[in-house]
């Protein structure tokens, strides 16, 4: 019930989001409503992220996602805090939802675009080979397909090739307008193409060609009543469409469709398609909202060939579309292989021609994966046509889609190669390309290939030359009338002997193209206007011809056209030659936007005026022409443009007002309004001043107080920054900071740097933490000239205040940590250097570093921010990493020599660095691929950086390394187990360095070995380590041992030991949750035997108890007792202390071996009793009785044990029990896991 409720919540949320999305995409909302709706949508999305435990997304006031590189740390923190508070309120509201009024809905305006839903329920047809089904909409009056094909790949077994599509073959034919629904007749057609042999009747006695696309048949269904809504419109109703098989080799599929739509019923013998159809009213976003059970993300979308009746705005100069617009950006080129005629040449029969289509660049290289046979099909690099058997005249009528990046269109062309296909495989392999045709996608005048049919020139020649772009690109690609008259012979050599290609007139080939692009034009007049500077002499003509250009072409280039018009007006400000023409063109464009077909571009035009329009003097020209028209009409003279001008008057005045505002603003800036740096500095110092919770001081007073602290302490500019120019613009209000003192004036002690924000306990100024400015920063910008001037005058000086008080045990408040991260983000190397050098004594510097390392480790371990504040956590980690690396340099310079070495300080550094590296927020392999790539792109893998620092710091220790063994073995092991290949390769050699160091001093490395075996067991059981780690550990350490003869034998023995242990530990971890407990028991026995062999008693006992627990969980009490007996046999009846730790609740009270052995015997007796092995229990009772009677003289316990023994004898006589049988089971063969063999 709970899951169903959650499902309903998610479903309702998705439906509401789709509804609001359709409103956002409609492009009809005013700005205020648009922003309000965006806030509502993003709030809903963030709420969904929260309940799905996804990351928190932080946004600015316009609901744009914040870039951490362009946002100060304080602003970022405040944005996170606001977002979290908003989500908390939202969740509280959702927990007590207000009832919605019945029928309440916020549907957007229905668009005059409709969709046809098709679901293929089944396809029953005996083909015997793989098949391809091409389903599309067909107009019999025009005898052409009007939509993209929906492609289904059908296996020879009678199911879809992608079995996941079974019962999920759904498509929506979109962009159908009112004219499409008003067609006299409309059919759903399916072309069936089998993929395999040339002839299905061919026997398999010889090797046949395969992979040929051969015609099989067609299916047609009249759907006019469904599209017009005059019949039942039910998606559950199934329609049967019979298959018309190919009767003769001369049956072209397109001709069969034309005949079938007029034909009668046929004897289909039950072969055909079962489909469901439903007309959905509205565009794609609308039907997704209204019919989510039909149209989901898995539903294929097949678009109409050409533009819909209502064109939606595209991208805005390659960027995101303006607010309120939908980015319906297309660059689709539909290519139809129409027909061809091919002479049989020297062959006895006509050729079986196969056309191969590919897209090539200027060098002749094939552009990869840009061709699609239809919707639902994967992009390919080559398209191969259907092969018709021995036909001179071929008619394919196959349509495919080519999708190219806009910037690549001008340097690509289509290449068609023709090859004869033989039914025999050996002959087919020997066939070469016999002809080639090509056509460029861009014409020499800069326009795209025109729509319509193209009669291409076919070239013959050597097959290699036919695929050599340098040989044919300079040749003509299309035929024209004059050429056909000139070429009277069968072939004609072109371009001399250089190309090696001949043009054939016996063969012909025609294609048809249709360009649907929002960024490419086929109109030379529009292109001439957009590029008017190249040919200014044609400007008047191009402006006049603009009114004759198709409205769709102009709308596609709306901003570019407006830019060109106003550029012409501004660059000819000294003359009025073009003023009237530009004004008329502007009126024409505004009239287009008012047209119903382009009504959604109103928002685009509004956005252009407010955001991109920049012609400051255009208002004069526009007013001049408008006044001229009005005066002309006032005099009674005919003024043809006036009615259109009055219709466009609203936008004309918007251009005039905007231009006048821009002009006035430019005039004001020209008078000068003060130094921009002065105002920016003022905003920077007043924007982000934070104060501690409970402080009643205003932000201004906090900033002022910080400045006063700087004055009272006589802060000195850091060394290296002396002599730089002071801040410009004078002193701001509240800025009482004195100018920097000279280097001769020594600083006075004061509280220490960023840390006293967090460690206010020991600081004399703790009641009032300094404010932290939050300046905006450009990416990666940390120039000394800005950050240094900002931080140096007011930056607190280092002193003993940082170590006055103990390290607080409570978690620091997150806003203080954000303040510290903000300061660290502004510090560069000069700041760190000056700060370190300013400590009055070495001991104070050591104390500062010590507490800094402890503080950072606390902050990393306790997670200051919630785990879903990913951006904030990553920014903090980035700043911590910089600081840790800076202080690591200080360690090597000042605390490494024999006289200054500080073991605890170095130890703190290593533990901090490892804690940083292994923290959960940096383990990228635990994240989704998208999140992992996003973090890598923005921050990189910080683990690799800190890992390299740890390695370098370790090797710099020299003879001091022995002091860190075995203490650092565990942290280094934890670091090497992080599943990052390069990190492992760079850090595993540290182990050998530890072995070598201990061996050189003691003659062995037993301490290192004991520690790594102990820690490895717990780390692997905790989930770390894998097969890759085992192989790397073995190969790296073996190669290191081989380079040192004295380490070869002991080192190789150790590596082999660890490798075997790792193998068994990994097996154990893999089967612990397996349902087959036998595997778990086998792995556990292997491990305890291993530890017994290498005399690691503590680990041996640990796994004895794991084995005991497994037995008891399966009620194998006898086996559990025998397992405990193994531990008991290791103990003596003595008062020696019990050294090995024992799992169990009462082990802490069992201090001697006698106590522990007695407790184990009692437990063993209980297990034997439960397992009905009373004979074994009697043996244990006798041994205990001996102890009580002869050694400890505890007759009370002796009485109890003898009574228990007597009961066991009684049970042996009176209780029936099956005799236990034991079987030895052996596993032989490489197929079994290693722990069973």
In terms of Cα–Cα distance, which of 512, 401, 400, 402 is closest to 452? 512
Q: Which tens digit of pLDDT belongs to each residue from 624-658? A: 888 888 888 888 888 888 888 888 888 888 888 88
pLDDT at 1073 over 50: yes
In terms of Cα–Cα distance, which of 1014, 1022, 950, 1018 is closest to 984? 950
Total residue length of the chain: 1237
**pLDDT grade for 711, boundaries at 50, 70 and 90:** very low
Give SS3 for 136: strand
- Alpha carbon distance 218, 258 (integer Å): 11
Q: What is the model's pLDDT at position 790?
A: 36
- Alpha carbon distance 471, 503 (integer Å): 13
Higher pLDDT, 9 or 141: 141
pLDDT at 557 over 90: no
Q: Which tens digit of pLDDT belongs to each residue from 485-506? A: 444 444 445 544 456 788 888 8
Q: Mean pLDDT, to the nearest integer, of 830-858?
A: 91
Q: What is the model's pLDDT at position 381?
A: 94
pLDDT at 698 over 70: no
Tokens representing residue 699 in the block = 């932000």
What is the layout of strands, in order, in the sheet containing 239-242? 239-242, 272-281, 114-124, 169-176, 300-302
Give SS3 for 117: strand
Give SS3 for 3: helix
Higher pLDDT, 897 or 9: 897
Q: Which tens digit of pLDDT belongs to each residue from 564-591? A: 888 888 888 777 778 888 888 888 888 8
Most distant CA pair in the chain, distance: 139
Q: Mean pLDDT, to the nearest integer, of 43-57?
A: 82
Q: What is the DSSP string of 939-1006?
A: H--HHHHHHHHHHHHHHTTGGGGGGGTTTTHHHHHHHHTSS-HHHHHHHTHHHHHHHHHHHHHHSS-H
Q: Which tens digit of pLDDT belongs to each residue from 1159-1214? A: 999 999 999 999 999 999 999 999 999 999 999 898 999 999 999 999 999 999 99
Higher pLDDT, 323 or 1002: 1002
Q: Mean pLDDT, to the nearest integer, of 555-563?
A: 78
> Is residue 707 within 8 Å of residue 734, measured between CB atoms?
yes
In terms of Cα–Cα distance, which of 631, 728, 642, 718 is closest to 678? 728
Write the Ramachandran bin of 720: left for phi over 0, alpha for psi from -120 to 50, otherwise beta: left
- Alpha carbon distance 1210, 1174 (integer Å): 10
Q: Which burial class, exposed, middle or buried, applies to 545 when counting CB atoms under 10 A from its CB (0-12, 13-18, 19+)?
A: middle
Quick one: how far is CA 118 from the chain centroid? Answer: 32
Higher pLDDT, 57 or 748: 57
pLDDT at 193 over 90: yes
Q: What is the model's pLDDT at position 397?
A: 92
- Alpha carbon distance 875, 867 (integer Å): 13
Tokens representing residue 421 in the block = 């296909």
Tokens representing residue 710 in the block = 């700087």
> Is residue 1080 within 8 Å of residue 1110, measured between CB atoms?
yes
Q: Mean pLDDT, to the nearest integer, of 110-129?
A: 83
Mean pLDDT, the chain, whole residue set: 79
- Alpha carbon distance 1111, 626 (integer Å): 98
pLDDT at 150 over 80: yes
Among the residue ranges 153-157, 708-712, 970-974, the one predicted with the least confidence is 708-712
- Alpha carbon distance 216, 192 (integer Å): 6
Name the E strands within 178-252.
187-196, 212-222, 239-242, 244-245
- DSSP assignment letter at 608: I
Q: Which residues contact 203 (CB under 8 A, 6 or more apart)?
A: none
Q: Mean pLDDT, to the nearest integer, of 180-190?
A: 89
pLDDT at 1049 over 60: yes
Q: What is the model's pLDDT at position 3?
A: 81
pLDDT at 674 over 90: no
**pLDDT grade for 313, boundaries at 50, 70 and 90:** low
SS3 string of 565-577? HHHHHHHCCCCCC
**pLDDT grade for 793, boundaries at 50, 70 and 90:** very low
Helix (H) or strand (E) holding 170: strand 169-176
Q: Which tens digit of pLDDT belongs to each residue from 990-1014? A: 999 999 999 999 888 999 999 999 8
Q: Whole-prediction pTM value?
A: 0.47
Neighbour-count burial for 986-1009, b at 16+ CB within 10 Å, e otherwise = bbbbbbbbbbbbbbeeeeebebbb
Q: What is the model's pLDDT at position 670?
A: 58
Q: What is the model's pLDDT at position 241?
A: 92
- DSSP assignment letter at 72: -
**pLDDT grade for 853, boundaries at 50, 70 and 90:** very high
pLDDT at 266 over 70: no
Q: Give me the sign of the Cα torsion angle 403, 408, 413, 415.
A: negative
> Is residue 1187 within 8 Å of residue 1180, measured between CB atoms?
no
pLDDT at 681 over 70: no
- Alpha carbon distance 246, 252 (integer Å): 8
- Alpha carbon distance 146, 189 (integer Å): 11
- Alpha carbon distance 84, 950 (integer Å): 36
**pLDDT grade for 340, boundaries at 50, 70 and 90:** very high
Q: What is the model's pLDDT at position 424?
A: 86
Q: What is the model's pLDDT at position 1138?
A: 77
- Alpha carbon distance 706, 875 (integer Å): 25
What residues pair up with 1237 in beta bridges, in sequence order? none
pLDDT at 789 over 50: no
**pLDDT grade for 329, boundaries at 50, 70 and 90:** low
What residues pair up with 221 in beta bridges, in sequence order? 188
pLDDT at 384 over 90: yes
**pLDDT grade for 686, boundaries at 50, 70 and 90:** very low
**pLDDT grade for 208, boundaries at 50, 70 and 90:** confident
> Is residue 121 within 8 Å of residue 275, measured between CB atoms?
yes
Q: What is the model's pLDDT at position 50?
A: 82
- Alpha carbon distance 33, 278 (integer Å): 34
pLDDT at 357 over 90: yes
Name the E strands within 421-570.
433-440, 452-461, 491-493, 501-517
In terms of Cα–Cα distance, which of 732, 721, 738, 735 is closest to 680? 732
Q: Which tens digit of pLDDT belongs to each residue from 407-463? A: 888 889 999 999 999 888 888 888 889 899 999 998 887 788 888 999 999 999 888
pLDDT at 881 over 60: yes
Neighbours of 1029 (CB within 10 A): 20
Q: What is the model's pLDDT at position 63?
A: 81
Q: What is the model's pLDDT at position 347?
A: 78
Q: What is the model's pLDDT at position 494?
A: 52
Quick one: how far is CA 709 from the chain centroid? Answer: 48
pLDDT at 1116 over 60: yes
**pLDDT grade for 358, boundaries at 50, 70 and 90:** very high
CA distances, 1091 to each of 61, 421, 792, 1031 (Å): 63, 70, 61, 21
Q: What is the DSSP string of 348-404?
A: SS---EEEEEEEEETTSPBPSS-EESSBTSPPBSEEEPPPPTT-SEEEEEEEEEEE-
Q: What is the model's pLDDT at position 344?
A: 81
| Alpha-carbon torsion angle 1067, 1070, 1075, 1076, nearest 10 | -10
Q: What is the model's pLDDT at position 1033?
A: 92
CA triplet 1027, 1082, 1068: central angle to 5 degrees?
30
Among the residue ranges 185-199, 215-229, 459-473, 692-706, the one predicted with the least confidence is 692-706
Q: Mean pLDDT, to the nearest integer, of 904-933?
A: 91
- Alpha carbon distance 413, 422 (integer Å): 29
């Amino acid at each position: 019930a709970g899951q169903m409720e959650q499902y309903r919540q998610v479903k309702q949320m998705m439906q509401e989001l789709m509804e609001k999305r359709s409103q956002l995409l409609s492009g009809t909302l005013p700005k205020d409503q648009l922003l309000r709706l965006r806030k509502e949508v993003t709030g809903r999305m963030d709420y969904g992220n929260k309940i799905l435990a996804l990351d928190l997304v932080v946004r600015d006031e316009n609901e744009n996602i914040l870039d951490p590189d362009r946002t100060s740390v304080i602003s970022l923190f405040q944005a996170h805090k606001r977002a979290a508070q908003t989500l908390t309120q939202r969740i509280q509201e959702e927990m007590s939802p207000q009832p919605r009024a019945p029928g309440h809905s916020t549907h957007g305006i229905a668009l005059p675009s409709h969709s046809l839903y098709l679901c293929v329920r089944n396809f029953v047809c005996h083909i015997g080979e793989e098949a391809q089904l091409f389903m599309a909409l067909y107009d019999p009056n025009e005898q052409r397909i009007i939509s993209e094909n929906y492609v289904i790949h059908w296996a020879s077994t009678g199911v879809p090739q992608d079995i996941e599509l079974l019962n999920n073959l759904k498509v929506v034919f979109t962009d159908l307008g009112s004219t499409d629904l008003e067609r006299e007749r409309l059919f759903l057609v399916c072309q069936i193409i089998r993929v395999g042999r040339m002839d299905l009747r061919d026997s398999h006695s010889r090797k046949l060609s395969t992979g040929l696309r051969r015609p099989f048949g067609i299916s047609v269904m009249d759907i006019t009543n469904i599209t017009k809504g005059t019949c039942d419109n039910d998606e559950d109703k199934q329609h049967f469409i019979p298959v018309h098989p190919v009767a003769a080799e001369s049956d072209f599929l397109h001709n069969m469709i034309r005949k079938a739509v007029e034909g009668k019923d046929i004897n289909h013998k039950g072969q055909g398609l079962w489909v469901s159809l439903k007309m959905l009213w509205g565009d794609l976003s609308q039907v997704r909202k209204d019919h989510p059970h039909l149209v989901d993300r898995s539903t294929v979308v097949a678009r109409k060939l050409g533009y819909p009746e209502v064109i939606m705005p595209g991208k805005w100069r390659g960027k995101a579309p303006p607010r309120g617009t939908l980015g319906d950006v297309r660059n689709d080129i539909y290519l139809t292989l129409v027909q061809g005629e091919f002479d049989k040449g020297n062959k006895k029969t006509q050729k079986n021609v196969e056309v191969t289509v590919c897209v090539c660049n200027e060098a002749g290289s094939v552009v990869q994966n840009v061709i699609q046979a239809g919707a639902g099909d994967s992009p390919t690099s080559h398209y191969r046509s259907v092969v018709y058997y021995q036909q001179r005249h071929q008619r394919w009528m196959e349509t495919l889609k080519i999708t190219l990046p806009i910037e690549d269109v001008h340097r690509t062309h289509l290449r068609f190669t023709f090859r004869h296909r033989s039914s025999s495989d050996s002959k087919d392999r020997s066939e070469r390309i016999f002809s080639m045709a090509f056509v460029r996608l861009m014409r020499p005048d800069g326009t795209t290939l025109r729509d319509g049919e193209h009669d291409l020139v076919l070239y013959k020649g050597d097959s290699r030359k036919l695929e050599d772009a340098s040989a044919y690109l300079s040749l003509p690609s299309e035929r024209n009338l004059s050429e056909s008259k000139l070429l009277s012979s069968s072939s004609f050599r072109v371009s001399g002997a250089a190309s090696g290609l001949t043009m054939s007139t016996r063969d012909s080939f025609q294609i048809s193209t249709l360009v649907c692009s929002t960024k490419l034009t086929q109109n030379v007049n529009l292109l001439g206007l957009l590029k008017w500077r190249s040919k200014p002499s044609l400007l008047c003509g191009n402006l006049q011809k603009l009114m004759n250009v198709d409205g769709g072409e102009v709308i596609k280039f709306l901003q570019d056209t407006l830019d060109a018009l106003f550029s012409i007006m501004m660059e000819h400000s000294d003359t009025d030659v073009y003023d009237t023409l530009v004004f008329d063109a502007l009126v024409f464009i505004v009239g287009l936007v008012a047209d119903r077909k382009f009504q959604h571009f109103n928002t685009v035009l509004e956005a252009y005026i407010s955001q991109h329009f920049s012609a400051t003097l255009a208002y004069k020209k526009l007013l001049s022409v408008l006044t001229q028209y009005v005066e002309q009409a006032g005099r009674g003279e005919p003024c043809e443009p006036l009615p259109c001008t009055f219709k466009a008057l609203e936008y004309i005045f918007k251009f005039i007002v905007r231009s006048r505002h821009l002009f006035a603003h430019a005039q004001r800036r020209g008078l000068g309004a003060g130094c921009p740096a002065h105002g920016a500095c003022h905003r920077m110092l007043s924007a982000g001043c934070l104060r501690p919770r409970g402080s009643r001081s205003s932000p201004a007073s906090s900033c002022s107080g910080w400045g006063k602290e700087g004055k009272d302490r006589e802060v000195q500019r850091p060394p290296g920054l002396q002599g730089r120019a002071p801040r410009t613009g004078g002193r701001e209000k509240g800025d009482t900071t004195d100018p920097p003192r000279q280097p001769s004036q020594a600083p006075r002690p004061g509280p220490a740097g960023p840390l006293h924000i967090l460690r206010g306990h020991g600081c004399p100024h703790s009641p009032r933490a300094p404010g932290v400015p939050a300046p905006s920063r450009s990416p990666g910008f940390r120039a000394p000239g800005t950050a240094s001037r900002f931080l140096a005058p007011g930056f607190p000086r280092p002193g003993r205040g940082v170590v006055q008080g103990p390290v607080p045990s409570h978690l620091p408040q997150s806003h203080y940590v954000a303040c510290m991260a903000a300061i660290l983000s502004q510090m560069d190397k000069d700041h760190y250097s000056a700060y370190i050098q300013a400590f009055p004594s070495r001991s104070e510097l050591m104390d500062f570093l010590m507490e800094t390392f402890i503080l950072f480790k606390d902050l990393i371990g306790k997670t200051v921010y919630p785990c879903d504040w990913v951006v904030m956590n990553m920014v903090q980690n980035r700043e911590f990493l910089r600081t840790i690396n800076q202080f690591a340099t200080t360690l090597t310079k000042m605390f490494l020599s024999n006289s200054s070495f500080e073991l605890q300080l170095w130890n703190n550094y290593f533990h901090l660095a490892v804690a940083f590296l292994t923290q959960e927020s940096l383990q990228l392999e635990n994240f989704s691929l998208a999140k992992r790539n996003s973090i890598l792109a923005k921050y990189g893998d910080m683990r690799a950086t800190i890992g390299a620092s740890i390695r370098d710091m370790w090797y710099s220790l020299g003879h001091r390394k022995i002091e860190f063994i075995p203490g650092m073995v565990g942290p280094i092991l934890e670091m090497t187990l992080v599943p990052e290949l390069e990190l492992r390769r760079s850090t595993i050699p540290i182990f050998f360095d530890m072995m070598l160091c201990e061996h050189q001093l003691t003659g062995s490395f037993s301490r290192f070995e004991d520690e790594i075996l102990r820690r490895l067991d717990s780390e692997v059981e905790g989930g770390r380590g894998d097969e890759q780690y085992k192989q790397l550990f073995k190969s790296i350490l073996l190669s290191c041992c081989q380079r040192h003869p004295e380490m070869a034998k002991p080192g190789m023995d150790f590596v082999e030991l660890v490798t075997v242990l790792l193998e068994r530990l990994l097996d154990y971890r893999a089967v612990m949750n397996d349902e087959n407990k036998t595997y778990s028991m086998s792995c556990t026995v292997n491990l305890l035997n291993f530890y017994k062999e290498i005399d690691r008693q503590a680990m041996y006992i640990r796994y004895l108890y794991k084995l005991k627990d497994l037995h008891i969980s399966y009620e194998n009490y006898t086996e559990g007792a025998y397992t405990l007996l193994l531990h008991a046999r290791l103990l003596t009846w003595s008062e020696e202390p019990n050294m090995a730790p024992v799992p169990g609740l009462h082990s802490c009270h069992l201090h001697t071996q006698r106590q522990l052995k007695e407790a184990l015997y009692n437990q063993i007796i209980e297990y034997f009793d439960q397992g009905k092995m009373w004979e074994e229990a009697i043996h244990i009772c006798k041994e205990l009785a001996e102890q009580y009677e002869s050694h400890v003289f505890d007759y009370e316990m002796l009485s109890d044990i003898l009574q228990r023994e007597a009961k066991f004898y009684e049970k042996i006589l009176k209780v029936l029990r099956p005799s236990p049988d034991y079987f030895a089971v052996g596993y032989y063969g490489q197929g079994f896991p290693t722990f069973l063999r």
